[in-house]
Structure 1
Amino acid sequence: MRTVNKYVILALTLSSLGSSCMREKLEPVPTTALTDVTAFDTPDRILQQVNGLYASVKSGQYLGGRFIVYNEIRGEEYNNELTNGVTGLQTWNHTLGTNTNEVTNLWNAGYYAINSANVFLDGMAAKGTSIVGDELSANYTGEARFIRAMTYFDLLRLYARPYWDGNGSKDGLPLRLTGNKGPGENDLARSSVAEVFAQILADLDYAEQNLPESYSTAFTNVTRAHKNTAIALKTRVLLAMQRYADVVTEANKIVGEDLSAPTGVPHELAADITTVFKPPYTTTESILSMPFTANNLPGVQNALAHYFTPTSFATPAPGNGEYSLIATGLIANTSWSADDDRRKFIFAAPNGKSYLVKYPTGPTQTDNVPVIRYAEVLLNLAEALVRSTNSVNERAVEILNAVRQRSDEGTSFEVGDFASVDALIEAILLERRIELLGEGFRSFDLLRLGQTIPGKANVNPVSPTQSEYIWPIPAGELLNNKLATPNP
């Protein structure tokens, strides 16, 4: 069987990546349960497929854990403790090849999710809309296009040059927009980075227009895309493109004067940061999360707890402690107060090393994986305000204070504290490192700004001109897609 078939699979078999949420009957269609002819015959079958789309992205190889881990450990915050090639060693030390497991597996998982969305969209156009009606069809189609946009964006973050390099003119990804149901449909040249971004934004604009304001329960508001979810992701995408004025425009839709969302799901910062990472994981700060239960796990060596939480944190051991925090790195920064509640996520182990314990459950690792939080949207807005106005922006300082003081009441920033625009931007970027630690943003922030990936331990820095700055295109794609080209 050709390699492409690992990720080009009918949306009808989505449950091969694991069952979806147990609550509210979020269960994808069982493998082989439906045929191409009957998949869109009833409203229940169509809803099962929608739920299955979310199951596809919560694969352990993607948003179930590993995508977040890879984007964390590429940066300078962590030491690799176990030198295990299966759990990201080559990502950590920048020695990836075209056949490395993480390079191949993440690509396959991403394109599986994209193809699942495409097959679903094709089915809705052919039959599904006539079954569920225009309004519900628009909702479901918006969710599928949101998932496709998010996945394309996540793949761009690793496999393609950042947007600033040539204003999006460099090779991006094969832009597949229709369902691939079998071999023989593989050959497709890579679209430019700009072309892929344009499709991402088109999908998110559609999603914003057609997704509901909210769902009936807090759980569903966190686990399915709604209007504010699409807007929030747009702020991240536009930040990557350095379109800062547009980030402000989008963020202002969901960040009111009181720093809460004025419409739709009433997003705001949780009063206590630690509640965001505890059951039931449904604070209004959580915009999108990947839920797991004891009967629905991310898989062996995929969960965030496995990587970051040490064996000594609790009994029974919640994780494997694959990565500790570098003692001289972020946790040693004196601007991060010892009284900050976010320090509660740092555990001083008996071996003298520090570990991130944002994900504390185990050995059955059922922590929800945070994908989008309101705190990130606020910080996206703060940075964009400063860059778009080229000023020590008062509202940006207000937002910086809101995020910091939620966890550290003793620290307060004033406009006069910042001697320059660069000083305020530096403070906002530091706040991102603290607030979003362990959530997969460090590599993204370095690459979108064209900064060198710092060295650590015995690993040398990686400059923006080095080939290691981004991941290689997998060998399987180059073999099976005759029009695909490798990264230089």
Structure 2
Amino acid sequence: MKRIAILFSSLLLLAGCDVLDKQPLPSITPENFFTNADDAEAAITAAYDAMQVAGYYGQDANVIGEMPSDNCTSTNGDVNAMERIIWTPQTGQVNNYFQNLYISINRANAVLKYVPAITMDTARRNQIVGEAYFLRGLHYFNLVRLYGGVPLRLEPTESGESSIVTLARSTPEQIYTQITADLQQAERLTAADLGGQAQNRARAIKTTVNALQARVFLTQQRWADAATAASKVLSSSLYQLSPTFKGLYPPDNNPESIFEIQYSGNADGGFVLPDLVLPSPPATYSYPKFNIPTTELIERYADTLTDLRYKFTGQVTSAGRDHASYVKATSMNVNDNGYFVYKWTSNPNAFNSPDNYYVLRLADVYLMYAEAINEQSGPTQQALNRLNTVRTRAGLPALTLADLTTQQAFRNEVDRQRRLELAFEGERWFDLIRYARHAQTGTGVSHAVTALDIIQQQRGTRDANYLLFPIPQNEINNNPLLQQNPGY
């Protein structure tokens, strides 16, 4: 599904949203719009369309998920607050992400409110409603991981009346309960397959839902549930690991992909991020780039000289650089070395790249399954097999249980592979946050590096308040029921 602008958006009070290429028709109302199958299709398309903008997966989701972490550095002032962990209630990414998540939720809510009453093919209607439940669950998951408890909106906002737009924050537990319920509904209603699903990862089906469930349950330390959800994906014939790591990039609905944001590569549907991270050329413009690989990350790849992933994750622009010089270069400034992110390589086209963006892919599910099994019962051959699948695809030798004799050793290796496999795909900071939360629970789950270590490095104190973003100040100003997160 490439990006499509539709008139349905005029229903949704999306002031400041730039996703339309036509003026909305003032005569369109919920009562006269949601009347037939075409309207239902247009509504779910609008729900997906909301995810493509720069303030969500087009840019900020990746910047937020990587720049605060140990993966990235940059001299570009636009990401300074993210890298140095000095964000405030006025920081651009903090505000943009929050706003665009609620725009996305509003569109999903409109589908959930109106589409069930439309007379149309029952199976197709159920699929559309199931997709909307999946999307709402995903958006609230992204919100709760970053902001904690937030207002829980389950109806579309169709007027600006105070009684409608003014809601207090629900607790994180209440948000997770809603996410779980939404994903259960999504799993129940979506199809096991859609026509062309093997070539198009644009829409949610049952296994898409299962992959997100695994991520949600892993975040909550619901290890058995995470393993069960992941196993449903791993048993599906719809997905296969790419034979090579290189074959994954640029993302374009390959068999390893489970769900990705789609871009058409033109002014109405282009992907912003590649021009922000690639050097020029191939990028359209030359300026200090986002997401420059840190020296420390480069060293992690270089620890094992056979790891194939570094060539396509932190590629260098200088010709003739081999593994030996790659190791030696780590003591130099990373920008001088010319390391950049090369996971999106098509023509950036002035911030209108046609490359897609992974949200969920199979290697991630392999690693989630391995982690969940290990946390339940320590190293097992079953978990090791999944871990080894990711290692050997990267050119690393398979390990044995004799190599990983303890739960902690296995945990450390899973974390290492998650970092190297998924670098720059927007999940590292969220992994580090959940590692910190795991340590806070006192369950004995410990990791070598957590978000608190990065906060200590950047701020000089292990201030746990920075495990959350602040609520945007304009939201506080407009909603007297909202209370700010501690520390802000």
When residues 291 and 319 of structure 1 are mapped into structure 2, their CA distance, relative to the original with a 3 A threshold, is farther
Contact (CA 8 Å) 1:223, 1:290: kept in 2 or not? Answer: yes
| 1:59-458 mapped onto 2 (5 Å cutoff) | 59-82=53-76, 84=77, 87-125=78-116, 127-128=117-118, 131-160=119-148, 172-184=149-161, 185-218=164-197, 221-256=200-235, 261-262=236-237, 266-278=238-250, 281-295=252-266, 303-312=272-281, 314=282, 321-327=289-295, 329-333=296-300, 336-345=303-312, 346-350=314-318, 351-364=336-349, 365-389=353-377, 391-408=378-395, 410-450=396-436, 451-455=450-454
SS at the partner of 1:88? helix
Alignment-derived partner of residue 465 in structure 2: 467
Q: Determine whether 1:477 maps to 2:470.
A: no
Describe the SS at the equivalent of 2:348.
coil
**How has the CA–CA distance of structure 1 residues 206 and 334 changed in structure 2, closer, same or farther, with 3 Å as cutoff?**
closer
Check the 8 A contact 1:64/1:298 in 2, yes or no: no
Amino acid at match of 1:407: A
Greater shift, 189-198 or 355-364, is seen at 355-364
Whole-Å Cα distance in 1 between the matches of residues 35 and 287 of structure 2? Answer: 44
What displacement does 1:203 show? 0.6
Q: What's the CA shift for 1:360?
A: 1.8
**How big is the alpha-carbon RMSD for the aligned residues of Structure 1 and Structure 2?**
2.6
| 361 and 462 in structure 1: CA distance in 2 versus 1, 3 angstrom threshold | farther
Q: 1:363 to 1:29 in 2, by over 3 A?
A: closer
Whichever residue aligns with residue 366 of structure 1, its letter is P
CA distance in 1, matches of 2:230, 2:304: 28
Q: What's the offset of the Cα at 1:298?
A: 6.2
In the aligned structure 2, how far is the partner of 1:317 from the partner of 1:272? 30
Would you identify which runs of 4 or more consecutive aligned residues in structure 1 move more than 6 Å?
12-15
Aligned residues of 2:11 and 2:158 also touching (Cα < 8 A): yes
How far, CA to CA, are the matches of 1:67 and 1:133 in structure 2? 35
Contact 1:277 1:368 survives alignment (8 Å): no
Q: State the one-letter code of the partner of 1:393.
A: T
Residue pair 1:81, 1:321 contacting (<8 A) in 2 also: yes
Superposed CA deviations along residues 223-242 of structure 1, whole A, max 9, x for unmatched, are: 00011000000000000001
Q: 1:170-196: per-residue Cα shift (whole Å, max 9, x none)?
A: xx1111101111212122111111110
Q: Which whole-Å deviations, capped at 9, do the CAs of 1:115-168 have from their partners, x for residues lacking one?
A: 11112211124x32xx214322211111111110000001111112xxxxxxxx
Query: Is residue 276–residue 290 contact of structure 2 (8 Å, CA) maintained in 1?
Result: yes
Distance of 2:120 and 2:267 partners within structure 1: 29
Partners of 1:399 and 1:378 in 2: CA distance = 5
- Unaligned runs of 5+ residues in structure 2 are 1-8, 319-335, 437-449
Alpha-carbon displacement from aligned partner over 1:58-84 (angstroms, at most 9, x marks no partner): 2211112211221101101212122x2
Q: CA deviation at 1:210?
A: 0.7
TM-score calculated relative to the size of structure 1: 0.84
SS in 2 for 1:287: strand
Match of 1:3 in 2: none
Q: Is the 8 A contact 2:317 2:338 kept in 1?
A: yes
CA distance in structure 2 between the partners assigned to 1:29 and 1:51 by the alignment: 16
CA contact (8 A) 2:11 2:29 kept: no
TM-score (structure 2 length as normaliser): 0.84
Q: Secondary structure at the match of 2:309?
A: helix
Would you say the 8 A contact 2:61–2:97 is kept in 1? Answer: yes
Deviation at 1:273, TM superposition (A): 1.9
Asked if 2 retains the 8 angstrom alpha-carbon contact of 1:325 and 1:356, the reply is: yes
Alignment partner, residue 10 of structure 1: 11
Change (3 A) 1:318 1:431: farther
User: Could you give the per-residue CA deviations for residues 340-367 of structure 1, whole angstroms, max 9, x where no partner exists?
Assistant: 2212222224532311211123331222
Counterpart contact for 1:79–1:457, Cα < 8 Å: no
Pair 1:242–1:30, CA change in 2 (3 A): farther
- Conserved in 1, the CA contact under 8 Å of 2:43 and 2:107? no
- Partner residue in 1 for 2:445: none
Q: 2:283, 2:478 → 1: CA distance?
A: 47
* Residue range with higher mean Cα deviation, 211-220 or 200-209: 211-220
Range with greater deviation from structure 2 (174-183 or 352-361) = 352-361
Tell me the amino acid that sits aligned with residue 78 of structure 1. C
- Supply the AA of the counterpart residue of 2:25: T
Deviations 1:275-295 (A, max 9, x none): 22236x121210011111222
How far is 1:101 from its partner? Answer: 1.4
The 8 Å contact of residues 311 and 321 in structure 1, kept in 2 or not, is answered as no
Q: Deviations over 1:26-46 (max 9, x none)?
A: xx9973384322211221122
Q: Identify if the C-alpha distance between structure 1 residues 95 and 14 changes in structure 2 by more than 3 Å, giving closer, same or farther.
A: closer
Q: 1:49 to 1:16 in 2, by over 3 A?
A: farther
Cα offset, 1:417, TM superposition: 0.2
SS of corresponding position for 2:228: helix
Q: Give the match's secondary structure for 1:372.
A: strand
Q: Which amino acid aligns with 2:370?
A: A
Cα deviation, 1:314-349, whole Å, max 9, x if unaligned, reads 37559862331112x122026753332212222224
1:233/1:30 Cα in 2 relative to 1: closer, same or farther (>3 Å)? farther
**C-alpha separation between the residues in 2 aligned to 1:105 and 1:315?**
24
Could you tell me how far apart the structure 2 residues matched to 1:134 and 1:119 are?
Answer: 18
- What is the SS of the residue equivalent to 1:417? coil
- Compute the displacement of 1:459 (Å): 2.9
Equivalent AA in structure 1 for residue 308 of structure 2: D
Q: 2:43 aligns with which of 40, 43, 49?
A: 49
Per-residue deviation, 1:296: 5.1
Q: Contact (CA 8 Å) 1:9, 1:180: kept in 2 or not?
A: no
Kept in 2: contact 1:9–1:181 (CA 8 A): no
Is the CA contact 1:71–1:441 (under 8 Å) kept in the aligned structure 2? yes
Contact 1:455 1:462 in 2 (8 A): no
Amino acid in structure 2 at the alignment position of 1:473: I
Take 2:247 and 2:307, find their aligned partners in 1: how far apart are those partners?
15
Q: Using a 3 Å threshold, how does the CA distance of structure 1 residues 186 and 298 change in structure 2: closer, same or farther? A: same
Identical-pair percentage: 27
Matches of 1:297 and 1:459, distance apart in 2: 38
